[in-house]
Amino acid sequence: MLEALPPSLGLISEARPLIDVRAPIEFAQGSLPGAVNLPLMVDEERRQVGIAYKQQGQEAAIALGERLVSGETKQARIAAWKTYLHEHPDAVIYCFRGGLRSQITQQWLEEAGLSRPRIEGGWKAMRHALCQRIEQAAEQPMLVVAGLTGCAKTTLINQLENGVDLEACAHHKGSAFGRRPEAPATQIDFEHALGARLLALPDKLVIEDESRQIGNANIPLTFWHALQKAPRVRIEMPLDWRLDQLLNDYIIELEKEYTAYCGAQEGWALMQRQLGNALIRLEKRLGNARLQRLQRLQALAFKAHAEGNPQAHEAWLAPLLTEYYDPLYRYHLEKQQASAAPDIHVGDWESCREAARQWSARQPE
């Protein structure tokens, strides 16, 4: 009897190792948190089996799959599963619906002397449960941390036990300049990461003020509507302080990330390309004359940066803030004030962090 576990979110909150035996193309579109892709069939094998299923039925599809994944190919797949299970003996198997592919994987492992359970209902059932958790969270008390660009809202969120970092879930910092070396999360992976974070937070939540779209992902609509109605704390910090934050976050830390990801030479080139393209994406709002001015300042800053002076980036970051991001945020704030709850506190970074902690302490468990 091949064991099947119910689709429990405990598997996610306990960080159980998971083996996703779906094809790589399925895994890339969205997986479960903590899963590794060790497929039963690769993309081309899955494509051929799918065609056989549509044209000739299940028996013909299974027979084709057995021919495609046999001999040395089959042994290589089993060896990959065994290697992972040697390091993660409590791993659980899943496929799309917890059906044929995960059962075949179990059977082959049984024949090789290893017995591991699969998730009943598979990826689909677990995804439903994670999305339900996000829907439920929309009913929880929420506090939103707002403020102009460069006010270190994300840093504040991450210093709170009940903070929810939406940008971390999205693998993106939210603005046109928010791309990182790694690919941004797909919509599915964003929702799964958010659902997984919310599993540990059954009560009050503190969340950064964000646009609905973060990178490639959109905040689920019910959750987004709840954020728009939530009380807020608003950080107000001087321009010089915010420039220091942006310089560190968008330049110095970004360079470190690219260097670690791609190596020094390629990372430096890709970082310049990313920041240059970010300006170009704002052309319609900046206007051609302003864009060209900022591009000249950015080019000079990169030259100075290469000579050891990253501080030179303030020459283009400062007008980007004062002429673009700050007016845009104030317009956004004016629109919100008509429907959102009033700010419960407005002040500097430290006082807003304390206000968020006090708000959290006042909420019922």
**What domain range includes position 323?**
140-362
User: 118 and 144 share a domain?
Assistant: no
User: 258 and 290 share a domain?
Assistant: yes
Region of residue 171 (phi > 0: left; psi between -120 and 50: alpha; otherwise: beta): left
User: 198 and 296 share a domain?
Assistant: yes
Q: What is the pLDDT of residue 339?
A: 66
Residue type, 290: R
Rg (CA), the chain: 24
Last residue of a domain, one of 130, 153, 180: 130
Round to whole Å and give the CA distance between 3 and 357. Answer: 45
User: 81 and 229 share a domain?
Assistant: no
Question: Which two structure tokens, joined as six digits, stand for 5?
Answer: 């576990």
Residue 78: give its domain's CATH number: 3.40.250.10
Asked if 149 contacts 319 with a C-beta cutoff of 8 angstroms, the reply is: no
Cα dihedral angle (65, 89, 75, 52), rounded to 10 degrees? 10
Last residue of a domain, one of 74, 102, 130: 130
**Chunked mean pLDDT (size 10), the chain, 365 residues:** 87 96 96 96 94 91 92 96 97 92 95 95 97 97 94 96 95 80 92 96 93 92 94 95 93 92 92 93 91 96 95 95 90 73 90 96 83
Whether residue 135 is contained in a domain is answered as no
Question: Which two structure tokens, joined as six digits, stand for 113?
Answer: 């002397």
pTM of the model: 0.92
Q: Is 95 marked active-site?
A: yes
Whether residue 238 is contained in a domain is answered as yes
User: 192 and 242 share a domain?
Assistant: yes
Asked if 38 contacts 20 with a C-beta cutoff of 8 angstroms, the reply is: yes
User: 69 and 201 share a domain?
Assistant: no
Asked if 106 contacts 93 with a C-beta cutoff of 8 angstroms, the reply is: yes
Residue with tokens 């060209």: 292
User: 197 and 168 share a domain?
Assistant: yes
Q: What is the pLDDT of residue 277?
A: 92
Round to whole Å and give the CA distance between 335 and 305. Answer: 39
Strands 343-347 and 232-235: parallel
User: 242 and 219 share a domain?
Assistant: yes
Asked if 234 contacts 345 with a C-beta cutoff of 8 angstroms, the reply is: yes
Asked if 278 contacts 270 with a C-beta cutoff of 8 angstroms, the reply is: no
Last residue of a domain, one of 130, 150, 169: 130
Beta strands in the chain (DSSP E): 4-5, 18-20, 35-37, 92-94, 118-119, 142-147, 163-164, 205-208, 213-214, 217-218, 232-235, 343-347
User: 104 and 166 share a domain?
Assistant: no
The angle at the Cα of 350, spanning 144 to 204, to the nearest 5 degrees, equals: 35
**Which one of 95, 151, 169, 352 is the catalytic residue?**
95
User: 147 and 68 share a domain?
Assistant: no
User: 234 and 126 share a domain?
Assistant: no
Number of domains composing the chain: 2
Question: Which two structure tokens, joined as six digits, stand for 105?
Answer: 């994987």
Whether residue 311 is contained in a domain is answered as yes
Asked if 119 contacts 126 with a C-beta cutoff of 8 angstroms, the reply is: yes
Asked if 293 contacts 284 with a C-beta cutoff of 8 angstroms, the reply is: no
User: 91 and 221 share a domain?
Assistant: no
Whether residue 197 is contained in a domain is answered as yes
Handedness of CA 96, 27, 132, 103 (dihedral sign): positive
Q: What is the pLDDT of residue 341?
A: 72
CB-based burial label for 8 (10 Å; 0-12, 13-18, 19+): middle
Asked if 41 contacts 75 with a C-beta cutoff of 8 angstroms, the reply is: no
